[in-house]
């Protein structure tokens, strides 16, 4: 199995976490939602697999390029 980092494309605040460690997800499934400039931006799974880590929580500030989660594909 390979690990795939899921990174943020924007700077903002984690508004909602849609998945949990151990969840099986498909490519394109929402992992979490970031609020940035009063917009809700979904972060989608780049690959299918199992969520091995969620590295942020609701209300955490995140930067563009920050690793948010890890998927084992």
The domain locations on the chain are 3-72
pLDDT of res. 34: 98
Query: What is the average per-residue pLDDT within 14-39?
Result: 97
Determine how many CB atoms are found less than 10 A away from the CB of residue 47: 14
Q: Residue 17 pLDDT more than 80?
A: yes
Q: Is the pLDDT of residue 1 over 90?
A: no
Name the CATH topology of 3-72.
OB fold (Dihydrolipoamide Acetyltransferase, E2P) (2.40.50)
Q: What is the pLDDT of residues 32-73, one digit of tens each?
A: 999 999 999 999 999 999 999 999 999 999 999 999 999 999
pLDDT at 28: 97
**Nearest 10 degrees: Cα torsion 35, 41, 46, 48:** 90
Question: Partners of 49 in the beta sheet?
Answer: 25
Nearest to 7 by CA among 43, 33, 41: 43
């Amino acid at each position: 199995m390979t690990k795939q980092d899921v990174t943020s494309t924007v700077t903002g605040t984690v508004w909602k976490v849609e998945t949990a460690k151990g969840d099986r997800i498909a490519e394109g499934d929402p992992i979490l939602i970031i609020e940035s400039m009063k917009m809700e931006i979904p972060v989608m799974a780049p690959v299918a697999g199992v969520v091995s880590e969620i590295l942020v929580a609701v209300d955490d500030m995140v930067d563009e390029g920050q690793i948010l989660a890890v998927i084992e594909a």
